[in-house]
Amino acid sequence: MTPRKIGITSTIPSEILFAAGAVPVDLNNLFMTDQDPMRFLRRAKMEGFPDTTCSWICGLYGVAMERGIDAVVTVIGGDCSESLALMEVLTLKGVEVIPFAYPHSPDPALLEGEMRRLASRLGTTLEAAEERKKEMDAIRSRLHYLDELLWRDHKATGEEVQLFQLSSSDFEGDIAAFSRRLEEKIAEIEVRPPVPLPCASDTWECPPSSRTSTAALKPLRPVSFSARSSGSSPFPSQAHWRRPIRITPIPTAYTPAWRISPGRFSADGSTVSSIISSPSVSAGSRILCSGAKLIFQY
């Protein structure tokens, strides 16, 4: 017998659907990755959805109608309020709708009860879902590693990581196939050289030292500085630049940082006049601000 294709409109414990022998289908992913997602909206409008209806809801409706979805698990609590309207319309169209509601308060017992009701509705148990979860958690750990290849190793691209992470909401309906595709992508990325950080030859970023403050940054006369190099440093030995530079604070998601760019600056009232480099200096290296000196940090 062909497994039932059960659409999901939001993140739910897909382990339960797999345990029931169904194929979960994230309608959001099909909507946004389609070559022509606007056609789903056009279908919804042609079939009577008012112009004021949320475009996302129209898209989910169009996908459910076009892709032959047997049933849809609709999150009716803790999600978009128009999901209730979508549930009613799908019911009128003959699509089985299975409600799922996240508790309004963070109550583990209520959430477990809701998951058990969903499992019972699909003909399985929460215990069977826990067994599938072990298999899926192993793949999720590999997704974490894929993310590390982006932010830590600078080898993966944001697009690659995001598409795999979003696809893990339903594992594309096939856990084994998704795992194989993920491992192939990881193997492909691991052998890549790191992506150079976006950094011009005269622009670097560095965390500010405790001795440097915004108040201490004052326009000064242009300064010159030299890069002392040794060994295999790509900078010529005793190379000199006579270029005015400026240091300004920039916001980041984690820690404050300074951007050094053409202009003039001071740190703690002293002109930064030298850069101490190491043999591994390269474009995109970070710089550690230390008192009145800039030291390359690796």
| Same-domain status, 220 and 287 | yes
CB contact set of 206 (below 8 Å; sequence gap of 6+): 257, 258, 260, 286, 287, 288, 289, 294, 297
Rg for the chain, CA atoms, rounded: 27
Query: Which among 195, 212, 234 is the end of a domain?
Result: 195
SS3 of residue 204 by DSSP: strand
* Count of beta carbons in the 10 Å neighbourhood of residue 296: 19
User: pLDDT per residue over 73-123, tens digit each?
Assistant: 988 876 677 888 899 999 999 999 999 988 888 899 999 999 999 999 999
The maximal CA–CA distance of the chain, rounded, in angstroms, is 80
User: For 150, what's the count of Cα atoms within 13 Å in the CB-facing half-sphere?
Assistant: 16
d(CA 28, CA 9): 6
* CATH number where 14 lies: 3.40.50.11890
User: Does residue 120 share a domain with residue 52?
Assistant: yes
Are both 190 and 285 inside the same structural domain? no
Cα–Cα distance measured from residue 40 to residue 62, given in angstroms and rounded to the nearest whole number: 4
Q: Are residues 179 and 292 in the same domain?
A: no
Q: Which of 108, 124, 140 is the last residue of a domain?
A: 124
Beta strands per DSSP E along 198-265: 204-206, 225-228, 239-241, 245-250, 257-262
Q: Could you tell me if 116 and 14 lie in one domain? A: yes
Confidence label for 139 from pLDDT (cuts 50, 70 and 90): very high
Q: Which residues contact 18 (CB under 8 A, 6 or more apart)?
A: 24, 129, 132, 136, 171, 175
Integer Cα distance of 190 and 193 in angstroms = 8
3-state secondary structure of 215: helix
Residue 38 to residues 25, 43, 56, 66, 224, Cα–Cα distance (Å): 19, 9, 10, 13, 57
Q: Answer yes or no: do 177 and 217 share one domain.
A: no
Backbone angles phi, psi at 98, to 5 degrees: -115, 110
Question: Domain containing 153: what range?
Answer: 129-195
Kindly report the average pLDDT of the chain as a whole number.
Answer: 73
Q: Do 112 and 15 have their domain in common? A: yes
Output the pLDDT for position 79. 66
Asked whether residue 137 falls in the same domain as residue 42, the answer is no
State pTM to two decimals.
Answer: 0.66
pLDDT at 188: 97
- Going by C-alpha positions, the residue among 170, 129, 173, 172 that lies closest to residue 20 is 129
Q: What is the pLDDT of residues 148-174, one digit of tens each?
A: 999 999 999 999 999 999 999 999 999
Strand order of the β-sheet with 257-262 is 204-206, 257-262, 245-250
Q: Which residue from 17, 11, 167 is spatially nearest to 78, judged by alpha carbons? A: 11
Query: Is the pLDDT score of 262 beyond 80?
Result: no
pLDDT at residue 167, as a whole number: 96
Lowest mean pLDDT among 18-22, 188-192, 240-244: 240-244
Q: What is the pLDDT of residues 32-48, one digit of tens each?
A: 999 999 999 999 999 99
Indicate if the pLDDT at residue 180 is higher than 50. Answer: yes
Which of 171, 195, 219 corresponds to the end of one domain? Answer: 195
Instruction: Report the distance separating Cα 188 and Cα 194, nearest Å.
Output: 13
275 phi and psi angles, rounded to 5 deg: -125, 125
Q: Residue 225 above 60 pLDDT?
A: no
Residues 46 and 75 in one domain: yes
Give the residue among 224, 209, 195, 218 at the shortest CA–CA distance from 283. 195
pLDDT at 29 over 80: yes
Residue 106 backbone class (left: φ over 0; alpha: ψ -120 to 50; beta: rest):
beta
More confident residue, 22 or 80: 22
- What's the total number of domains in the chain? 3
